[in-house]
Structure 1
């Protein structure tokens, strides 16, 4: 647990242990500046306000953070609460410190927002600030930690809101950056604020259980230490306590009793080097029997936040389960402090990044990519929350590279983790050399190979099973762009048709006409106008009239005359911005009419469909259509077949339909009486002529009484 300081002098003694005299003096100058800026301001507890930034700096000093981070901690509320500008701070303490303070201030504003959009918006700003300098989030985590420690002075409602936000966002971020100590304190303080009664009861139960377990813990510890001493492995052995929130979560999610959770005895063994870790593991396994399948090597394959350790579970005396973690002193430091351990800014120029920093940078780079591709801030924050899962699976590419993915990931998540283009062109996968569904969940240790095709594209159905933020964001981004391009193409055709009826075309429009339309409608680009027409948000013939409208001598707008309404041609290859109604199943040869829908583009109905009669009263949304003379493709149509009950009759129907090159898409049977069935079958045909041949064949079956196209 990070201790608090109560004066600049007591902080100074900690700082002198790892910073130069000049750096300590700069931090003290920042403190006195903050003290003067916050003069007269007090916290809710009644203490002078400057005690808060001092405490935040103390938490960072315990992590041995650099002097610029501590200066930013001292000044982090100055811009927000005192009216001093960022430029003024820059002149006093340098641009780097001013940028850090500004980044932390944006995050503080985020907390005061109540609307989801505003909060998500500010979280995007946080991502940018973090990507520029990750120390922003470290100062913010320390700031939030001190606020959580002093929550008791706030009203219940605000206390619970801040606690929930901490558990939802800040604890997972601390976990993602490997900062175990901060995460544990966040979770326990948040749990106590949200569920004070449960927290108190579990705390009392742990205290009681600790006393009952003391003798067994000492016996196990002594036997481990004796074993290590015999083998000549110097090590520090300590008991490991589960924190309150993790006990509560296991009781709730795994539906375990408190006694079951406390029945596990946990120990940590810290040694001097990696080689000794594995030697100690062998020593421990010779002392107690290991539980099969419960060994995990996070030294060879570190967790995504840089965590490294050997984990094993043993059966001790009387069958008591014992959890053991074995790690080096450096790994222990990294496990507790994460990215703050061996801080990057204390290393020499050009020195390579350590594993934790490299992974943190990769995560931040991923955040920026998601932000650029997300449709809005709410979609972005949803993706970020998905990626803050603490559990990962580790899978291999065919050439042996290891990829870390969130628990529950599929081959599609894997494909996007390899590269966005691989994800976009993914068509199939092999898991451990066998063909497998793209939706199959991956397990650690599997080798995954992605099969791609140059003509492939993401499927909207993938959104039902992908779990990583990168996959979800890229799929949505691709589909959105595809929808946009298809809508532009459809909008161009609709507008061209409307202009043709007014004896002109898009090519003949002048730039002045287009600019006047954009000015009058407030739309940014002419392509956006076409997209809105294609989406059904703008009516083509009205837009055509707006484009061709002229101003007369009196300043009145005059519209062109002599419109020739020629139908839009349906070619059958327009993409998903032209849809065929399921109420009447139009096919080539039918008289057709279209309805413009904002969700589905043009919806094609038969001329006699009762739904088409309804929307014809809305001429702005209806559009005349005709089939192209050289139309090719397959179109769905529904038949209603009355027949006598007979064994195998459905197989006979299917054989006749397939014999005439038609696919059966759906079939259902209704009983009309003891001897009569009504079969509804949806088949794929090329035209009305093709359909007529199939219906003629079906009528030739002796059990069939009647075959007609279904009407709804």
Structure 2
């Protein structure tokens, strides 16, 4: 049944009797600091008076101060810590704009302020719940995404508890509100917060939230079951009293000290069981129920034996949640028997500790008392990990083509959760862009995407999405096509392999001549920008393991070849005598002092300095698993570990194979000159400098010249770059800045 709301002690003038209220709270937990709680109450009350309370009442007529006290009452019953209670008292005042977070930090410290800030972040969920969804037929994937988003936003378990208490107050308060508001609050509580209370194992809050939500979402069904329960209440209570007397006598005879009580069955759980099993009210076994609390676990099983001796057990109606606890940690023995007068009776048996866990859940396991900061911090981190684990719902795998991507994503803990314009939550990997969002919603939306709005503001397609933002895709009405630039990793349009695969698939379906033309244009533009001229495209195609230059263009245009890979191969053709990644034959700038056993960026294990060279057969890149082969007169040749040539050498001459590893990264950088042409405008140099700062690029020299005749500016910079990939990425990012005509590498004359 719905829990009866306790009344706050009131003075004769209608105000809250604060001393009496504090007495009630401290009875629940005497270890709390009375002075600190009183200070929080006076602070919240004064803020409400100053803000003119008459204009800041809830629709139900309750002030933010009174609501704060009610939230704190619920949390005190959960035995929560001092900081959380102070945050609960003040929270509604902050949410309604009567108190600033700066004032909270100043008067109560950063911990209380951070808790309030976390609860405020969770308020974004309220706007995302569709009150028209059916109680039974709601979109499960949508609900799961909202729950996962909630977890992503909560980095302190206490934030979730405060929010649960606040929503409990909210659904209690809508009793006299209009139907639309009652339905909206009930929908949110039922879909999000009742399951959260269940996962945290806080039974008495879960039951109240479920019953109140059910009351407003399905009023006719609620009234029907409530009437049936009320009609038989007296008979049921007399029957339960008789059963408890009989069972108490048997337990005492065996030396078991037990506390027995009649267990009220909650209306929603009765309705759910009736719906799930297709039963009538008269067929619900646990309307008549007894709970037995005993000191130890072994007493539970002894008591179970006595119950089954007294009354006949109903087959398939026994659950041992002690040996096999529920996913939220709930432990108990449940059995159904044919009791006196042939009536079905449910009996729950558990220890006192198990009962406390069932009622308080996570709150029964931990306390923030502030006595041992280091120990409590360690325990706190464990609880955060535990919270995230128990709130994990299964992922939607999507189409089979994206299975590998989803499996990869499953092991990555960092996710962002964003809203569609109609309030649906979409989960994406951290670092995702609006284009990734578009392809996640629907492939055609991705293909037709021409722009995006985040929280109503137009953003570039390379914008990095953050949890809680609302994303709207601006699509072409005439139908569109993806841009090949989206596949260029240097430009940062897409970050997920799922999006990239859909774009590549689209280009594969296009005519070969279109791919050839597009691939050729892309390659020529990139090589010109990197100042890699006079490239033999046929030799470049052969180096890329393709027969002709046209095949290379087609593969690049279709997305099968990476532009950065071809740029690196082109550099090796143009500059065959230089180390991979080296841009100019100039002195290197080495970061850090070279240690013995190193040459370049290779570290030789177990020997001193040796001459090293990269093997031409497999061309290992920094980060590849590598192995060394001792040559005759040419030092150590470095191969990839999976290189066929070195595997053959290892089988013939295993004594000449040595272990090697890459040295610290980055080991060295190379100065390079770049030029930027742009239409002159205010802030141009600032924007370029900011881009270099974001990319962590060191600038050695800079020179700018403005041409007043055509209103253009020419910027020459000397920068330090670790390799060709970094240069390509930087030039691509600069080219995206407003008014930029071109950005390219300047070839030495």
Q: What TM-score, normalized by structure 2, do the two folds share?
A: 0.51
DSSP-derived class of the 2:182 partner: helix
Q: 2:203 aligns with which of 173, 176, 180?
A: 180
Q: 2:125 aligns with which of 110, 113, 120?
A: 110
Q: 1:12 aligns with which of 22, 35, 38?
A: 22
Mapping 1:279-294, distance limit 5 Å: 279-294=302-317
CA distance in 2, matches of 1:64, 1:527: 45
Cα deviation for residue 235 of structure 1 reads 1.3
CA distance in 2, matches of 1:527, 1:42: 46
**Greater shift after overlay, 209-218 or 55-64?**
209-218
CA distance in 2, matches of 1:385, 1:528: 22
Aligned residues of 2:240 and 2:290 also touching (Cα < 8 A): no
DSSP-derived class of the 1:267 partner: strand
Kindly provide the CA deviation profile for residues 201-256 of structure 1, in whole angstroms up to 9, marking residues without a partner as x: 21111111223434433332222122112223221211212110011111112110
Aligned to 1:210: 233
Kindly provide the CA deviation profile for residues 351-393 of structure 1, in whole angstroms up to 9, marking residues without a partner as x: 999xx999964443438xxxxxxxxxxxxxxx95559xxxxxx
Question: CA 1:461–1:543 in structure 2 vs 1: closer, same or farther (change >3 Å)?
Answer: closer
CA distance in 1, matches of 2:346, 2:403: 38
Aligned residues of 1:291 and 1:315 also touching (Cα < 8 A): yes
CA distance in 1, matches of 2:507, 2:207: 51
Aligned to 1:25: 35
Q: 2:47 aligns with which of 30, 37, 47?
A: 37
Q: 2:77 aligns with which of 59, 62, 74?
A: 62
Aligned residues of 1:518 and 1:526 also touching (Cα < 8 A): yes
Aligned residues of 1:549 and 1:560 also touching (Cα < 8 A): no
Mapping 1:345-364, distance limit 5 Å: 345-346=368-369, 349=372, 361-364=384-387
Question: CA 1:301–1:232 in structure 2 vs 1: closer, same or farther (change >3 Å)?
Answer: same
Question: CA 1:346–1:537 in structure 2 vs 1: closer, same or farther (change >3 Å)?
Answer: farther
Q: Give unpaired runs (5+ residues) of structure 2.
A: 10-15, 131-138, 415-426, 437-483, 509-514, 547-553, 562-749
Whether 2:268 is the aligned partner of 1:245: answer yes
Cα deviation for residue 286 of structure 1 reads 2.0
Aligned to 2:491: 523
Aligned to 1:548: 524
CA distance in 2, matches of 1:523, 1:99: 36
Aligned to 1:236: 259
Mapping 1:76-475, distance limit 5 Å: 76-82=91-97, 84-113=99-128, 126-131=150-155, 133-261=156-284, 265-341=288-364, 343-346=366-369, 349=372, 361-366=384-389, 384-386=392-394, 460=400
Aligned residues of 1:311 and 1:323 also touching (Cα < 8 A): yes
Aligned to 1:643: none
CA distance in 1, matches of 2:364, 2:232: 34
Aligned to 1:380: none
Question: CA 1:472–1:90 in structure 2 vs 1: closer, same or farther (change >3 Å)?
Answer: closer
Question: CA 1:462–1:24 in structure 2 vs 1: closer, same or farther (change >3 Å)?
Answer: same
DSSP-derived class of the 2:337 partner: strand
CA distance in 1, matches of 2:280, 2:108: 55
**Greater shift after overlay, 523-532 or 316-325?**
523-532
Cα deviation for residue 58 of structure 1 reads 1.2
DSSP-derived class of the 2:89 partner: helix
Aligned to 2:135: none
Aligned residues of 2:47 and 2:98 also touching (Cα < 8 A): no
CA distance in 2, matches of 1:527, 1:263: 53
**Greater shift after overlay, 107-116 or 311-320?**
107-116
Aligned residues of 2:325 and 2:331 also touching (Cα < 8 A): yes
Cα deviation for residue 165 of structure 1 reads 1.6
Question: CA 1:541–1:312 in structure 2 vs 1: closer, same or farther (change >3 Å)?
Answer: same
Q: What TM-score, normalized by structure 1, do the two folds share?
A: 0.53
Kindly provide the CA deviation profile for residues 26-60 of structure 1, in whole angstroms up to 9, marking residues without a partner as x: 12212222223333221112333321111111111
CA distance in 2, matches of 1:359, 1:542: 53
**Greater shift after overlay, 193-202 or 140-149?**
193-202
CA distance in 1, matches of 2:366, 2:316: 36
CA distance in 2, matches of 1:310, 1:239: 16
Higher relative contact order (CA 8 A, sep 6+): 2
Cα deviation for residue 321 of structure 1 reads 2.7
Aligned residues of 1:231 and 1:283 also touching (Cα < 8 A): no
Question: CA 1:527–1:471 in structure 2 vs 1: closer, same or farther (change >3 Å)?
Answer: closer
- Number of residue equivalences: 453
Aligned residues of 2:334 and 2:349 also touching (Cα < 8 A): yes
CA distance in 1, matches of 2:21, 2:543: 79
CA distance in 1, matches of 2:237, 2:72: 37
CA distance in 2, matches of 1:168, 1:571: 55
Aligned residues of 2:197 and 2:205 also touching (Cα < 8 A): yes
Question: CA 1:212–1:14 in structure 2 vs 1: closer, same or farther (change >3 Å)?
Answer: closer
DSSP-derived class of the 1:5 partner: coil
DSSP-derived class of the 2:64 partner: coil
Mapping 1:679-690, distance limit 5 Å: none
Q: Give unpaired runs (5+ residues) of structure 1.
A: 368-382, 388-408, 414-457, 485-515, 553-558, 573-592, 602-712
Aligned residues of 2:487 and 2:494 also touching (Cα < 8 A): no
Aligned to 1:3: 6
**Greater shift after overlay, 518-527 or 8-17?**
518-527
CA distance in 1, matches of 2:287, 2:74: 32
DSSP-derived class of the 1:346 partner: coil
CA distance in 2, matches of 1:61, 1:204: 33
CA distance in 2, matches of 1:49, 1:181: 24
